[in-house]
Amino acid sequence: MITSRRLAAAMSALAMVAGGMVSAAVINAAPAFADHCDPAGHPEQRTQDQPSQDGQDQPPQDAQDQPSRSDQGQPPQGGGALAPPSDPGDDPQSTADPQDPADRRGTGARNSDPRASQDPGTPDQGSPRDPRASQEPGEARSPQNPGNPQSPGDPQNPGERQNPGDPRNPGRPEAEPTGSGQQGDGRRARPTRSPSPSPSPSATQDDDCADLGPFVADFVDIRTVQPGGNLLAGLRSGSRGTFVSQCGTNGNRHNNPDNFIVAPGVSNGAHHLHDYVGNLSTDAFSTDQSLAAAGTTCRLSDRSTYFWPVLRNRKVDANLGDPDGNVGQVLRPRQAVMQFRGNAAGRVSEMPRFLRMITGDAKAATNGGANARAAWTCTGFTNRVTTKYPLCPRGSLVVRVLDFPSCWDGQNTDSANHRTHVVFPGQGGGCPQGTRAIPQLRMILTYSVPQGPSYALDAFPEQLHNPVTDHADFANVMPDRLMSFVVGCINRGRRC
């Protein structure tokens, strides 16, 4: 009897030990990589938030460039509506959807980014209107381009709607923001009102992704941002017209990590994925000749190339093998507006064909804010502008606004630093001596993002997905006749 009891006790002890080992194995199991790198689950914040200052010195060759705007809702001068409404009878681009063919030069594993699943589009949560956005008078009809036919290799894609109407619905949402902004212990992280150009996370040994970014401090509830002038309000003086080149939202999934402007001939020269609209052939090896011969997703034979770093949903396990840490599901813009605006001080002149331009600084987190141009906001709150990722209320969408320089030196289509040949206007809107005003390109990108601080830009690894690194690139490949029409619309105060 005693022997049986001892045997039973020994068996019970062995069972307890085995159970403990199983529990320990479950507890120590590693979480999915993307979820593990979700900033919402990591309250660690940057220990040194160094806001960029408006008076910051700039490199000698970039003396005219404006520094990054602060997070106080002080936007640049002028602008247009978030989605410029059009009259089907007058809008030269209202007859058909943009062309987003799947078959193009440069298609392949590198362009389609097989490691990242594209977001097919999330249900529309509504897009509150900014009631203060100004309406611009006048519209014009399209020019005829008999000498610039559309590329025969550029078929229509009736499945994609281009910028369908004005997404700005009346009213301002007052519900909870898309992100709770709470830290891991349940306490709400205090949003800050200054950008964080210098990454310095406080990592722990238990956090494999503590140094990957972004961090909770990189996000801000848009309702806590100091209001200022309306970022998307129209110009009140000078050449007040606008022209929108309707190019789609990259429905054909033209993506690659190249940048033929900054790193020509270098595959993966950007170390982050770009979204492209317009020219179908753009990659690391693009030339003036290849761009001019390619098809386009834009109407009116605009073969220009427009591109920017993608935004990703960090809650989704995708692209996990990326060596640069750009993980998550690519978010396709709900709307992409390529708008050309005027100059507050006077008329604009035609920009030369094959002019190359960049805006922002992809390495602003380590370079400082001299060339940073990040501007983030939410629909319904466009009088509040920040250099952080905005947390928008329910029913409001995230908006990226990327303004390009518009004072050209009159001679060069590029420069060694890709900046000095075309610079930003001064505070009053006038161009520096020795330059002339050309149409200013403004990209307005609108997204439906996951709730909470769980989305991020693709970026160079050392930039830690800091939102101040937002940037974009452009090369003008419009036919000369179309560029003349654009300038005419702008100088006559029309909306085309």
- Closest to 336 in 3D by CA, of 247, 213, 396, 424: 247
What is the model's pLDDT at position 366?
95
SS3 content of the chain, % helix, strand, coil (to 5): 15, 20, 70
Where would I find the beta strands (DSSP E) of 385-476?
389-391, 398-403, 407-408, 422-423, 436-437, 440-447, 455-457, 471-475
Strand partners, 450: none
Percent of the chain with pLDDT over 90: 53
Rounded Cα distance between 27 and 395, Å, is: 38
Average pLDDT over residues 369-375: 95
Instruction: Give the global pTM.
Output: 0.66
pLDDT digits (tens, 9 = 90+) for 79-111: 333 444 333 333 433 333 333 333 333 333 344
Q: In what order do the strands lie in the sheet with 455-457?
A: 329-331, 311-313, 455-457
What is the model's pLDDT at position 137?
36
Task: Categorize the per-residue pLDDT at 38 as very low, low, confident or very high, splitting at 50, 70 and 90.
Answer: low
Rounded Cα distance between 133 and 97, Å, is: 26
Sign of the dihedral defined by the CA atoms of residues 234, 354, 267, 363, in that order: negative
What is the model's pLDDT at position 66?
36
Average pLDDT over residues 383-405: 97
Query: Which residue has tokens 């992100």?
Result: 179
Number of residues assigned to the chain: 496
Rounded Cα distance between 92 and 455, Å, is: 36
Percent of the chain with pLDDT over 70: 57
Q: How confident is the prediction for the chain on average, in pLDDT?
A: 72
Q: What is the DSSP letter of 336?
A: E
Average pLDDT over residues 422-442: 95
Least confident of 200-209, 415-424, 477-486: 200-209
Average pLDDT over residues 229-243: 85
What is the model's pLDDT at position 239?
87
Task: Categorize the per-residue pLDDT at 6 as very low, low, confident or very high, splitting at 50, 70 and 90.
Answer: low
H helices, E strands: number in the chain: 6, 18
- β pairing state of 311-313 and 305-309: unpaired
Tokens of residue 93, six digits: 């681009």
